[in-house]
Chains A and B, each alone.
Chain A
Amino acid sequence: MSYGQSSVVREVGVDERRITVTVNGEKRVVEVEPRLLLAHLLREGLALTGTHLGCDTTSCGACTVLVDGTPVKSCTMLAVQADGHEITTVEGLGTPSELDPVQEGFSREHALQCGFCTPGMMLTSHALLESNPDPSEEEVRWAISGNLCRCTGYQNIVKAVLWAAEKKSGGVS
């Protein structure tokens, strides 16, 4: 699969590689240019537009996805580097009928305003809770410090993650 509209017209001279990625549990075999960024494969190639591009320099974290469960900024990872790996995007959090506790916590605690940083912020938070189910406020702040938010001031994001931790442990219903 090529990126954008050019797949039908760009037949000559393009060096494409076949890769296999599992995205949100679904196995996908795609043809990509070696220079294609993972974020673009997800957004354009696989129509998963919940992954946002913010800064292009691995700084803001809006493009964060999970690669084999680890948060990775997909704007500076090549799609070919994802060959053979499992990717989770925001679309893979929760189910259509039931939100993941992190998603629910973000809404409940007003941890988002414009929503642009939210997918990356939630995936980083989700990964934190997988490795540390009972984090302190300080641990939450450190864990999400690679993700920038310009709207909220973070305080409600921290509360949301702590709420999700409690929910996961059965502490709140």
Chain B
Amino acid sequence: MTAVDEVKIGGMGASRRRVEDARFVRGRGNYVDDIKLPGMLHMEVLRSPLAHATITSIDTSKAWEIPGVRLVLTGEMMAQRNLAWMPTLSYDTQAVLATDKVRFQGQEVCVVIADDPYIAKDGCEAIVVDYEPLPPVVNPLQSRAADAPIIRDDKEGQTDNTCYRWEVGDRAATDRAFATADVVSKLKLHYPRSHPSPIECCGAVADYNPATQKLSVFMTTQAPHIIRAAFALVTELPEHMIRIISPDIGGGFGNKVPVYPGYVAATLASILLGKPVKWIEDKTGNLISTGFGRDMYLDGEMALRSDGKILAVRMHADTDQGAFFSDAQPSKFKIGLMHSAFACYDVGAGHITAQGHYTNKAPGGVAYRCSFRVTEAMFFQERMMQAAAVDLGMDQAEFRRRNLLHDDAFPARTPFGFLVDSGQYGKCLQIGLDAIGYDQFKIDQAEARTRGRRLGIGISTMTEPLGAGNSREYDILGIKMFDSAELRVHMTGKAILRVGAKSQGQGHETTWGQIVAHELGIPAADVIVEEGDTDTAPFGMGTYASRSTPVAGAAIAMVSRKIRAKARKLAAHLLEVSEEDVEWELGRFYVRGAPERGATIQECAMAAYSNMPDGMEPGLENNAYYDPPNLTWPFACYIATVEVDPATGVWDVLRVVAVDDCGVRINPMIVEGQIMGGLTEAYAAASMQFQTYDADGNIVGSNYMDYLLPTAWETPGFELHEVVTPCPHHPLGAKGVGECATVGGPAAFVNAVHDALSDTGVRNIDMPLLPDRVWQAVQDGQDVSGMPPVRSDA
């Protein structure tokens, strides 16, 4: 008897086929809209058609007359129960149903609960709301104008439209460095508003049982335990009588972290009616009212020595938060982890200021497939790197190589306080350059230019902080950011693992079993994984910010080790030797010096229930809470080549090379799937995907005919490479990965297009690089700003 083969049991490094697929390919998933409870009613939301208006009257009488309508809720009725407003996850408040004013187009005004959703929609159409329009404020420029209307006049002491101010770094040291610079390179850009837009919209089935007084809510949430806590605060129901169940989720990408008015309204409706109430958002509702990402204006500069050494960086960010500050940032960091910008480079000194602005737009600013605003940070970083290299007249790759942290620099403290702990940045860059054939491309590019063809190459290199957090620094609403796992090994050696994270497609049910297999030698197929039910799963902060493997994955390793420690005692008992004489190999303990005498983990499990030593507590189960000592720091190098047609502004992607170092890979197939998905969202951001508003505050991008997402036809192919630098503090050496490509990818495409236009004088075209913007830039030889229009009468 020897150790089990780790690959055969689906352990670390196995590209194990996914457990989830068995139900998904048969159409047997269980998404929230698939849940049907006896007596269930249906809710629809009536939304504001105006961006900014006073509500003068709401007449719901015609809706009540429709057969099948059971309840119509208005803001006034919510206010009677102290539920017209709710707290957000960023210490602001948000209207559940509007009482005084509407503050963005699409804001929730009334809800109708009826026997079926068709009747509920009829009910919404029968409601008459009178509005007195107010001037809309649609961007930060308008928002900070002296005569701008105060959007949040509901908030005591709010005298302007500023949502927050924040700064970090050393202003004086940065100023000193700039004074010594040979070259100062400047860049100003807008990262447009973008909606994460999972294909499945948000929804809930709220089920209040008047007999037991227990509330169960099936809900599309990435963070069920945070939602339970928020509901306990909002509804005044005791926390143990609230059960949040997050079933299969059809994609999240950060959109399904916040608490939305629909969840609260459906819950109150269920409490009032004593029946289950289902709310399923339609696509327009999702796109115009739930958490968007980005919408940030960045203005910065870099101090440089003429030999290419970066001396300091300075940035200011204005964020457009919409009507409510409703994203979920760690409470110390109002603009998320923006200050992770330039973490992979030795930049000397740095200073960042930021200001958040209320506008008459949908609320959000959520971490859209990123670790709290790092996407904007890394995009600015890599656009700035390109601009600086151009200003210096230096090669793009060489400029990065010269400033990247060297392998012997770790751990390195950034000017903004992060501790970057590991990486092989130069190696990753070189693999990327070799894969794309950098030197040959430059030759081909120059040759093509002589024939009027515009080729371009764009590089993006970055590290980002994934896996919040450590509890010293990171919390949401004061709740520290750790995670947990509970493992029960049954007597036959099969197991159930419950985790506080919540998969939305990342394949946790597959990967988590692999960690148990790696630690205990129990085949992954013998471990069932459960997540998302707050009554059964241990407390966890949920899945976003690429934190599942860094935090929950570590908790799974730790609980498995606790189980192994107990199994060792059982093995010593079975083998009739002292514990010190027992050795471990995967799946089996054996007697030191007599390897043929052993006990498998399964035999130990049986003994825990049938043959434990005197005085030992029976059973083989445990739990672990994991508070990581640091964030994890994956590194990535993304390189894209493009050809721009100057006559039309259309650009085609020729090749995309991705080199990711996310530490040890648990399931390489799933990791590569995450990277390809992320690269696609990066391409989307660079090429087509954004939301804007007209001067009256009407949203453009409210459905999939206006809000463009790439199909299989436009999406380029991806060539993936890997480097493995284990995380020094994670028990498995793993780092976060889910978001790297979304974060670092956009700059590769955008830099490539700008490289193709390098002789035109165009320094910056704001994303998305729509053909008309590129064409205009080429025609005029000038930058194209994505700044939304400003009302002429404002």
Contact = CB atoms under 8 A, between A and B. Distances in A.
A154 B713 CA distance: 9
Most buried by A among B22, B42, B119, B680: B680
Given A108-B17, A148-B709, A151-B251, A115 B116 contact: no
Interface of A: 3-6, 9-10, 12-13, 33, 35-36, 43-44, 48-57, 59-60, 62, 89-91, 93-94, 99, 103-104, 106-108, 110, 112-119, 122, 140-142, 144-158
Nearest to A50: B27
Given A50-B27, A115-B24, A116-B199, A3 B68 contact: no
B198 A116 contact: yes
Interface stretch (B135-143, B291-299, B503-511): B503-511
B729 to A, nearest CB: 28
Contacts of B22: 107
B677 A113 contact: yes
Interface string B226-265: 0000000000000000000000111101000000000000
B761 interface: no
Most buried by A among B17, B20, B200, B284: B200
Contacts of B34: 43, 49
Most buried by B among A36, A145, A150: A150
6 contacts: A9-B68, A10-B115, A44-B36, A106-B25, A148-B709, A150-B709
Contacts of A94: 26
A9 B724 CA distance: 63
Contact of B505 (A35, A36, A91, A114): A114
Contacts of A53: 33, 280
B118 A118 contact: no
Given A55-B704, A150-B199, A151-B677, A118 B25 contact: yes
B666 to A, nearest CB: 14
Nearest to B17: A107
Contacts of B28: 50
Contacts of A52: 31, 33, 199-200, 250
Chain B's interface size range is: 35 or more
A159 B559 CA distance: 38
A57 B705 contact: yes
A103 B717 CA distance: 22
Contact of B197 (A49, A117, A150): A150
Contact of B198 (A4, A103, A150): A150
A159 to B, nearest CB: 11
Given A33-B118, A60-B704, A141-B713, A115 B29 contact: yes
A116 B27 contact: no
Interface stretch (B4-12, B77-85, B397-405, B668-676): B668-676
B218 to A, nearest CB: 14
Contacts of A141: 712-713
Q: Is the interface of A mostly helix, strand, loop or mixed?
A: loop
Contact of A57 (B31, B283, B677): B283
Contacts of B68: 6, 9-10
A56 B702 CA distance: 12
Given A5-B116, A55-B283, A150 B20 contact: no
B384 interface: no
Interface string B30-56: 010110100111100000000000000
A110 B677 contact: no
B718 interface: yes
Given A10-B115, A94-B26, A106-B21, 9 more contacts: A4-B117, A5-B39, A49-B31, A114-B199, A114-B250, A115-B248, A116-B198, A141-B713, A155-B676
A59 to B, nearest CB: 3
Nearest to B23: A115
A114 B251 contact: yes
A52 B198 CA distance: 13
A158 to B, nearest CB: 7
B27 A51 contact: yes
B67 interface: yes
Can you list the 5 inter-chain pairs with the closest CB atoms, starting with the nearest? A50-B27, A116-B250, A114-B505, A115-B24, A4-B116
Nearest to A91: B27
Interface in B104-142: 115-119
A150 B197 CA distance: 8
B283 A152 contact: no
B283 A6 contact: no
B669 A110 contact: yes
Contacts of B26: 50, 90-91, 93-94, 99, 103
Contacts of B24: 112, 115, 118
Contact of A153 (B283, B670, B679, B713): B679
Contact of B711 (A13, A112, A145): A145
A157 B506 CA distance: 16
A56 B282 CA distance: 7
Interface string B751-770: 00000000000000000000
Interface string B49-81: 000000000000000000110000000000000
Contact of B712 (A35, A48, A110, A154): A154
A154 B661 CA distance: 22
Nearest to B286: A55
Contacts of A108: 17
B676 A152 contact: yes
B709 A3 contact: no
Contacts of B676: 152-153, 155-156
Contacts of A33: 118
Given A107-B25, A158-B712, A114 B704 contact: no
B198 to A, nearest CB: 6
Contacts of B198: 114, 116, 150
